Structures are given as structure tokens and as C-alpha cells.
Structure 1
Amino acid sequence: MPTWVPGAAGTLFDVDNLPYGVFSLPGEGPRVGVRIGDHVLDLAPVAAAEMLDVHHVFQEGSLNALMAEGHRVRSSVRTWITGLLTEEPERDLVEPHLVPLADVTLHLPVEVADYVDFYASEHHASNVGRIFRPDAEPLLANWKHLPVGYHGRAGTVVASGTPVVRPSGQRRGDPAPTYGPSTRLDIEAELGFVVGVGSELGTAVPHDAFADHVFGVVGLNDWSARDIQAWEYVPLGPFLGKSFATSVSHWVTPLEALDAAWVDLPAQDPEPLPYLGPGQVQGLDIDVEVVVNGEVVSRPPYRTMYWSPAQMLAHMTVNGASLRTGDLFGSGTVSGPAEDQRGSLLEVGWGEESAFLDDGDEVTLRYTAPGTAGGRIALGDVVGRVEPARG
């Protein structure tokens, strides 16, 4: 059924989308809302008026309480919201609680528990290998056997629009390292997956339990200081070159909104080990657009990713590591096979110094996917402007 909300029908935020976020109005505390068109529906008063069993979760300042309720509640709440926004008899109750998007302040939607970032694009990994190791094999020996990842810093995950301060650190020098602001500040266009239901310590999460644990998807920018990273990453991987900021969208797109976006993975050769579900998992057909200072510089396609979201989750927990509500894991840079599909400035400029970000530069990541109604839906944008180093 079409929505009765003025101006929402046929947009990228129609009723087949309905992403969740956390918003506030002047003088009021943050609470949970859902986006429809260019409005936010304030869910707390509507849920209380209808005596919904879980009405309390919409009064919280993050989505964590809602996400922890699990798959069944997530599905039933979505059905309830869809009814509110499409059934004319509900209009008198709901319309007073529709707030123009322009009137609200949006906040970080999730209280992030842990943050892990993967390296799941064969095209990105191969490009990086060729840039840094031109005389060697671009992929290391383990890359096609497991989703490579690193453990990031949950406390520096920030909401879209938060300024990103240029990080300082050690950089390779001759004969000794130097210290100062990064001169090779980069972005990585990614997707992030948000965990709703945790798992028991010591018990692996199988690949076919992905939807039981993952609540939804965010846009994600894994800001990267390439010069700091290059000096520190051997032998234990990224650290200060990644931990200064990770930006995510204000809106969390629930998995149900992406039902029409699942596609087969590219061929995986050699066949992964059984716990990774070879031939039983899928990727997502999500188009990404990288915009720097208003100019589109790349359009990476997520459907070309080598490792699937379910495989990343299965590998992250195969050793018995537990999940917690609010855990966030990133896909790694999304890059396709073509030159105009590269998801980092390192690749776009093929290592040239002029490709990296200057102070004052603004980066926007945009995402769209097939919607269940036959059109397209948008995931939340991710915006960040570079500020000069401090101190």
C-alpha cells in the first residue's frame, strides 16, 4: 500500500525502506525515530498510545535496546510501523508525531560495543598489493582462505557530519622516523553491519545465523592515515593509522529493507572451509558513490565483494569470541574491477601524493540498493570534513 505521508511515496525513503535513527528536538533528550520521506516519525509516543509491549525501547538514546529484542520483534515492529504509515485510519494518531527532518538533530544511532574492520574486496586488496609490492604477488597467501580483519577502536566511531581532525603520528623517515600531522589522509568507502543479538562466549556463530544476530546496515567511512599506517603495520597490522575516526551514517537500514538486494557472490576459488558456508551465502547489490568537495570521484559496487557479510561474522566468532549488542563490523574498502570503481583515494590516485585529502576537504559517501517494492532505497549518507591537526 502507498504511504499517506506527504511527499514520501516514490522517494528513496518510502515505506519499503524505514531506517531507524536517534534524534532530538530543542530542549528534549534523544530518542528513537524512523525515517519516512523527509520526516522522522517519533515512535515513543505512538507506541505508548497503542500500548505496544516494547514501547520503552523507543524512549532510549540509542537503538541498542530495540536491537537486543531480536529478529522476531524487529520484524513485528517493522510491520506495525508500515501499517501506521500506510493505513489511513492511523493518520490522526500518527501525523502529529511526524517531525520534519530539517527540525531535528541526529545522533550516533548505536552505542558501539566493539568494532572490527575487514578487508573483503579482492579488487581493493589486489590494488593495494600492486601499489605497495609491485614486484610481488598482490594477495598474501591467506587472503582467499579467510576474511582478513583487524580490531578497531569503538570509542572513535562517530556520526556522519562529525568533523575529522587530521591525526598526527610517526612516519617513516631516513634515517629515523619523523613525527607530525599525516600528509596522506585517505578514506575507505565501506558498509558496516550492526549486531543486535549477542552470542555466548566460546560458541561460534554459524554462517546461516547471520539474520538472527545482525540488525541492520550503516554506511561507513574508515578514515586512514596511510603514512602512519605504512610505518606501524608490520608485524601486527593497523593501529594509530586507523583508530582516530570511523564515520557511520545516522540511519541504520534494517535487514528486511534489503530483502531484494541479495545477490550471488563472485566465484570463490579455492573453495573456503565449511564453516564459511561455500556456495550457501550471498553478497549485497548496493551501489556506493564517493563524493569529494561536491565532485563524484568513484562509484564502487558492493556486489563485487569477495567475502560475504555472513562469512565475516562466522569468521569473527569461529574461535568462540562472543558478540555483544552494538558490535559493529566493517566490510573493508569497497572497490570494483574498473578504474572508476575504486573505494579509496590511494587507489583512485594510484599512490600519488596529490590524491590525498587537504584540510577543509569534505567527503560524502552515498548508497542505494534495490527496494522490495521494485524501485530503489537509500542508505544513510556518511559525511565528514577534515579539520587541521591540533597541538
Structure 2
Amino acid sequence: MIRSFIEISPESHFPIQNLPYGVFRPKSGGEGRVGVAIGEYVLDLSVVDEAGLFVDTSVGGKRLFHQSSLNAFMALGKEAWGEVRSQVQRLLRADEPTLRDHTVLRNTALLRQSDVQMLLPAQIGDYTDFYASKEHATNVGIMFRGKENALMPNWLHLPVGYHGRASSVVLSGTDVRRPKGQMKSPDAAAPHFGACRQLDFELEMGWFIGPGNHREEAIAVENAEDQIFGLVLVNDWSARDIQSWEYQPLGPFLAKNFATSISPWVVPLEALEPFRVACPNQEPEPLPYLRAQGKSSFDIRLEVHLQGAGMAEPQRIATSNFQHLYWSMAQQIAHHTVAGCNLRPGDLLASGTISGPEKESRGCLLELAWRGTEPIELGNGEKRVWLEDGDQLTLTGWCQGDGYRIGFGEVTGHVLPAFE
């Protein structure tokens, strides 16, 4: 197992085996630039580039890392990503003196994460949210349509998705204000307008697109993973009562467009390779353009923690795993483009709520509290069926290796009351 000259705890999400990318600026001032997380530090790639340490790669001297987004780097593709990752990993190795023994360069290039402000990692042109967990879709279907009609007729044949709102994708730590909209209770004669009462979280993961494709050019399922720059945690907040009134016939609108929170560090797909696993068995067999060979999912443990305003510490309320997803990332990309849609660098795709077969693995309050009929009991005696003002949600996830973790950090959000 390779090691870094930087001391890193086995529980750290950011060992030398990970090296996720992010965009930051020092709290002391300055413009946004690209860095890599290593332990409790950020390696400033703009400093590494200025020092000439990327000269033998395709990115050397192009000032790609002096920018306030990863889009230009994402656009270069898999070969360039691999070159940079290999060079950064080499520079951080315990047996490599270039950074380790160059005090001035090391102190300039390495900043403590506590001394920087993280920014959105990309300029997100488009955001697509899928509905790729069979357990989640089944649970929701049972609640609203009964066991006999739990899954809609199309669900086992294609990755269901909808186009979300990119402008309201926000970084972890951003407060989320309770949305307003129209709602209608089943026994009411007419809808009313007001603050959402059934605010929910959704445990998801997202991935950023790299080079993309031309319009009218489909991405084949066997090539789709080459488009994935890296993955982030996603909390796609949801206003269930607004959604239940507005979603027919075209799907959610105000219920989903007010906020989607993502984690700041983008974990490269290459870092996840040791944790590759098979997707669930797909029956019936998908149509040819969706048929994928080999293992196309990953063993990523996911957790949700809730801390109410009256709680001294957060409480874990759910655990799930990325490998529960029925439709793979590659299948979702292939389906997204098969009609001729063009994906672009920095586009964000998300999985939809990730639920597993056990009650504690349900990835939202709608399922955990079973549409309000089974309240969650918290340690301080409080109960929850929906999120309350003052609640803070924290989603986290990691792959567990032998003596190290490939982690995603956290995505947090604090619920504020609706505007008056």
C-alpha cells in the first residue's frame, strides 16, 4: 500500500489512494483555484503547475488549475485525468523528495483545509436526476398505488429520470430555506398556498460529465464510464406535499427546484476501482443499447445523520449503499444520450434516492417514516416524520479498504424557516 509523506489517519476520507478534486480559495483572500484533498490538507494544483511539475503532461502550462471551476480540466478526458492523478500521487508519496524536501514549495502548495473556503467544483450547465433505486421506487409505489402496481410499467425497461434545475445546485454547508407552493390535502375542495409542511431529504450520489458528446451522437453503454470525471454526495431536497399536488402529468417542479446540495470534493472514478461490484440482476433483460458487461457498480457505504435544534449531537437515521442501485451510471448515461441529447463538461447527473432492502437503508423520510405513519424516534425523545426548521442533515459515504478509506467527505444543510 502506497503511503504519503503527510501523516493521514486510517479513518481519513482523503488518503493518497483517493485524491479528490475541488475548487477553493484561501480564507485570507485570493481567486478560486483547483486543489486536491490529501489528509487534512489541500494541495494547490496551480502552485504545482507554476513550479513546472506538470510539464511532462498534457496539462502543463495551460493554467487549467488557476480557474474557479474544473470544467476545462473535465473536458480533456480520461487520458489527461490519468496523467495528472499519477503525477500528483507521485509527488505526495513518502519516498518522493520533490515536495517533501522542498520546504518553500511544500509550504506554499499545501494549505490546511480549515484555512480555505470551498466553492462549487464546476459550472453546472445542466442537471439530470434519475430514479434508479428499485427498492425506493417500489416503496414509493406501494405507498401511493399499492403492492400490485408498485412499479410503473416502464420502470424495469429504462432508467427513469427528469431534467432538474442546475441554478439551484448549492455547495455543502449552504442553508436551505423551507419552500412555499401550492398544496392540496385529500379532503380539501381546493388547493392552498403556503410553506411546505412535508420537507424531506434524499440520499443520492451524483457524477460529473467530462468531455461529453455532440448532439445527435449517442454514447454507447460500454463507453459511458469514460465520460465520468468523478462522483459527489447529493442531497436532493424534496417538498413532498407540494410535489403530490403538482407532479401530474409532468413530474415535480417547485417541489424539487429550490435546492440540491452537493459535497465539495469530486472523487475520481479511478480511485473507486478496487471497490467495483456487480449491479443487481436485471430482469427482464434490458434492450440492447442498455446491456452492459462486467461489474458496473461500487461498494460505497452511505449514511444520513440528523441533528435537531434541541439535540446535543447528530443521530444516524439511515445507512445504505451505492451498490443497491438497479440502473448503473453507464446505463443512465447511455439512455440520456440515445435520442441525441448532448452532454457537456460539468453537467451533473444524480442517481435518485438510494434505498436498500432493510428499513434502516431507506434513503428518505418518506420511506423511513412510511409517509408519516411510522415516526422516527430520536435520542432526546423527539420524533420526526418530516424535517423541521432548525434541523441539520449530514450525508456521508466511503469505500472501506485495507487500512484506508476512499471517502466523499460530507454534504450538510441546515433547514431555515420559509420567508414571511
Which residue of 1 is the match for residue 216 of structure 2? 202
**What does residue range 150-169 of structure 1 map to in structure 2 within 5 Å?**
150-169=162-181
Which residue of 2 is the match for residue 63 of structure 1? 70
Matched residues in 1 for 2:236 and 2:217: separation?
A: 29
Q: Give the one of 226, 230, 251 matched to 2:244.
A: 230
CA-to-partner distance for each residue in 1:129-170, whole Å, 9 max, x for gaps?
Answer: 111122641101000000000100000000000000110000
Which residue of 2 is the match for residue 363 of structure 1? 393
**What does residue range 4-19 of structure 1 map to in structure 2 within 5 Å?**
4-7=5-8, 11-19=12-20
Deviation, 1:385, is 0.4
Which residue of 1 is the match for residue 126 of structure 2? 114
Which residue of 1 is the match for residue 47 of structure 2? 45
Matched residues in 1 for 2:71 and 2:150: separation?
A: 40
* Number of matched pairs: 390
Q: In 1, are the aligned partners of 2:10 and 2:404 still within 8 Å (CA)?
A: no
Deviation, 1:343, is 0.3
Q: Give the TM-score taking structure 2 as reference length.
A: 0.90
CA-to-partner distance for each residue in 1:246-284, whole Å, 9 max, x for gaps?
Answer: 000000001111011211111100000010124445111
Which residue of 2 is the match for residue 213 of structure 1? 227
Matched residues in 2 for 1:262 and 1:374: separation?
A: 18
Deviation, 1:8, is 5.3
Which residue of 2 is the match for residue 95 of structure 1? 106
Which residue of 2 is the match for residue 380 of structure 1? 409
What are the ranges of 5 or more consecutive residues in structure 2 without an aligned counterpart? Answer: 308-313, 374-383
Q: In 1, are the aligned partners of 2:40 and 2:112 still within 8 Å (CA)?
A: yes
Deviation, 1:88, is 3.2
**What does residue range 306-325 of structure 1 map to in structure 2 within 5 Å?**
306-325=326-345
Matched residues in 2 for 1:51 and 1:135: separation?
A: 59
Matched residues in 2 for 1:278 and 1:84: separation?
A: 36
SS at match of 2:272: helix
CA-to-partner distance for each residue in 1:68-104, whole Å, 9 max, x for gaps?
Answer: 1110010000000001100431113452121111111
Q: Give the one of 337, 340, 357 matched to 2:360.
A: 340
Deviation, 1:312, is 0.5
SS at match of 2:261: strand
Q: Give the one of 246, 249, 253 matched to 2:267.
A: 253
Change in 2 beyond 3 A, CA 1:9/1:355: closer
Matched residues in 2 for 1:32 and 1:13: separation?
A: 16
Which residue of 1 is the match for residue 378 of structure 2? none
Deviation, 1:374, is 6.2
Deviation, 1:308, is 0.5
Q: Give the one of 178, 182, 198 matched to 1:184.
A: 198
Deviation, 1:351, is 0.6
Matched residues in 2 for 1:207 and 1:326: separation?
A: 20
Matched residues in 1 for 2:388 and 2:11: separation?
A: 38
SS at match of 2:407: strand
Q: Give the one of 326, 329, 334 matched to 2:346.
A: 326
Task: Tell me the percent identity.
Answer: 47
Q: In 2, are the aligned partners of 1:8 and 1:38 still within 8 Å (CA)?
A: no
Q: Give the TM-score taking structure 1 as reference length.
A: 0.96
Q: In 2, are the aligned partners of 1:271 and 1:278 still within 8 Å (CA)?
A: no
CA-to-partner distance for each residue in 1:178-208, whole Å, 9 max, x for gaps?
Answer: 1001000001000101001120100100111
Matched residues in 2 for 1:215 and 1:348: separation?
A: 32
Change in 2 beyond 3 A, CA 1:137/1:60: same
Q: Which amino acid aligns with 1:73?
A: A
Deviation, 1:113, is 1.1
Change in 2 beyond 3 A, CA 1:271/1:180: same
